[in-house]
Amino acid sequence: MSDPTAPVATPADAPARQDFIRQIVRDDLAGGRHRAIKTRFPPEPNGYLHIGHAKAICLDFGIAREFGGVCNLRLDDTNPAKEDPEYVAAIQEDVRWLGFEWNELRHASDYFEVFYLAAEKLIRQGDAFVCDLSAEQVREYRGTLTEPGRPSPFRDRSVEENLDLFRRMRAGEFADGSHTLRAKIDMASGNINLRDPALYRVKKVPHQNTGDAWPIYPMYDFAHSLSDAIEGITHSLCTLEFEDHRPLYDWCVDKVDLAHSPELLEPLTSKGLPFEASKPRQIEFSRANLNYTVMSKRKLMALVQAGLVDGWNDPRMPTLQGIRRRGYTPASLRLFAERLGVSKQNSLIDFSVLEGCLREDLDAVAPRRMAVVEPLKLVITNLPDDHSESLTFPNHPKDEHQGTREVPFSNQLWIERDDFAEVPPKGFKRLVPGGEVRLRGAGIVRCDEVVKDDAGNIVELRGTLDPESRPGMEGANRKIKGTIHWVSARDAITAEVRLYDRLFSVPDPDRGEDEGKTYQDYLNPDSRRTVTARLEPSLREARPEASYQFERLGYFVADRHDHAPGTPVFNRSVTLRDTWASKT
């Protein structure tokens, strides 16, 4: 099987993708606005990446690749109280797993000295002031969507006083929350983001990269816009919730004007970093919102902390670590991002679209194997107890290059329990008392006897194999309605199989907020079921993260963490068909 972590290449003859962002980039190149394209993927390391981030990664890195440019990976680490090196490591792993490699790894914290100098410049220009209002008072002064805000009583402090106070903030003289540095823009603006937003706050929290060096930290909007400018980002691609922040983004970039202020970048250039500053352009696109899940980091973290899932990498979680463990492939997620496209219209994507992308990818590459997840013994009475033979099966019916494998066959088999019905429902085409069914690749068998225990439970079936119906014989052409899979009981390996399903039982887990319910009230009680399965012995060689189609059952993956020789563990990635379509 191919290496899932290998970077993906875009075929030279692939058709050019068309969307409004790519058209902007084409126009900018054609018009001479840029000679080279530079993008960035800028996650905050305050949680694990999820499916929505996969779309952003594919777009940020994809745009750069398609237009011969580069893409940085930048950790926007300006809130150390919520950040952790664990998240940083996972983010880097996820980006590489999806098949992308960054031009440079940067951190917003690399630029703290630049941000500080930029803030002092804003103060000297009269564009920023130190405010003593509490967070609650700031909210009171801000106004509403229909009423303008009121200026802070500290808005007209002199430049000298503001510089003195800001430097004392930097020196650690003030308590957390007691002072902020605010932009001086327009308290009557219809865009609340422009009503003198905070640029810096006092926060005496150690930082994972800078330690105790800074008792103040820049706010996200300030740091994000200036980081893009520092790195010479040409197109800053953001999701739609940042559209209202774009005027503030542009204000910060224009007022600081790093492209024409080399003195502000001296902390970087003195260390040998190139002067790359320019004016970036922010462009917004719609998020990837999926039904039957939540993708708020806060809500996902609550599930983890409450023990409702088994951590961030639980295969039911929409995190990239989780769905990777579930068996989703980089190719399936890239296909998903491509199918979603790029637009300005937010929409809710049906989970079946994501599942369909995985089926499409695995159908082409996943080897086929036989496995029984709910075993029922079938004894073939007209074969001797010591009967043993080897049957040849293709590893993939559509790809002869995958070769063949030998599967043992004996007189005692495991079949799926639901492939037999003592009282069959209408339309049932599998095994029934006195009925016949085709055993995959082995012949036609008839059920002659049903064995039950003292409680009346079916524990064994007994039947006969038509000796004239073996593969290649004329009798094999006899028309039989049903075909079932099987595993030789004598040769099967026992495995733990986890049958995963959607984490939530309703399309919109947040729908009950008006009724006093939370998304946690709609957790699917059947999102995971663990069974002891019987597998054909070739699966003994399966490696962690190897995907297979268990014939007639679905696609399964050897668990990334728990699967090991002698203790196989497989996760169901997706069923062969959309089993939820009939439920809605």
Active-site residue (options: 167, 255, 279, 297)? 297
DSSP 8-state class, residue 542: P
- 3-class SS of residue 25: helix
Q: Please name the residues in contact with 283: beta carbons below 8 A apart, sequence gap of 6 or more.
A: 21, 24, 235, 236, 237, 238
Residue 327 · residue 557 · CB < 8 Å = yes
Active site residue 551: no
- The H or E element containing residue 331 is helix 330-340
Burial class of 582 by CB neighbour count within 10 A (0 to 12, 13 to 18, 19+)? exposed
| Token pair listed for 386 | 């010591």
The whole-angstrom separation of Cα 334 and Cα 154 is 51
Half-sphere exposure in the Cβ direction for 296 (13 Å, CA)? 8
- CA-to-CA dists, residue 339 to 63, 294, 486, angstroms: 16, 20, 37
Q: Please name the residues in contact with 180: beta carbons below 8 A apart, sequence gap of 6 or more.
A: 130, 131, 133, 138, 198, 199, 200, 201, 202
Q: Which of 87, 86, 72, 76 is nearest to 109 (CA)?
A: 76
Active-site residue (options: 201, 287, 334, 534)? 287
Half-sphere exposure in the Cβ direction for 387 (13 Å, CA)? 16
Burial class of 265 by CB neighbour count within 10 A (0 to 12, 13 to 18, 19+)? buried
**Residue keyed to tokens 């579930």:** 326
Residue 282 · residue 242 · CB < 8 Å = yes
The arrangement of strands across the sheet holding 569-574 comes to 368-369, 547-550, 554-558, 569-574, 493-500, 528-535, 371-372
- 3-class SS of residue 132: coil
Active site residue 287: yes
Q: Which of 239, 311, 303 is nearest to 86 (CA)?
A: 311
The whole-angstrom separation of Cα 220 and Cα 210 is 17
Residue 402 · residue 395 · CB < 8 Å = yes
Q: Please name the residues in contact with 5: beta carbons below 8 A apart, sequence gap of 6 or more.
A: 96, 97, 99, 330
Active-site residue (options: 38, 40, 44, 572)? 44
> How large is the angle between the packed helices 112-124 and 246-256, nearest 10 degrees?
80
The whole-angstrom separation of Cα 345 and Cα 6 is 33
Instruction: Return the active site residues.
Output: 44, 287, 297
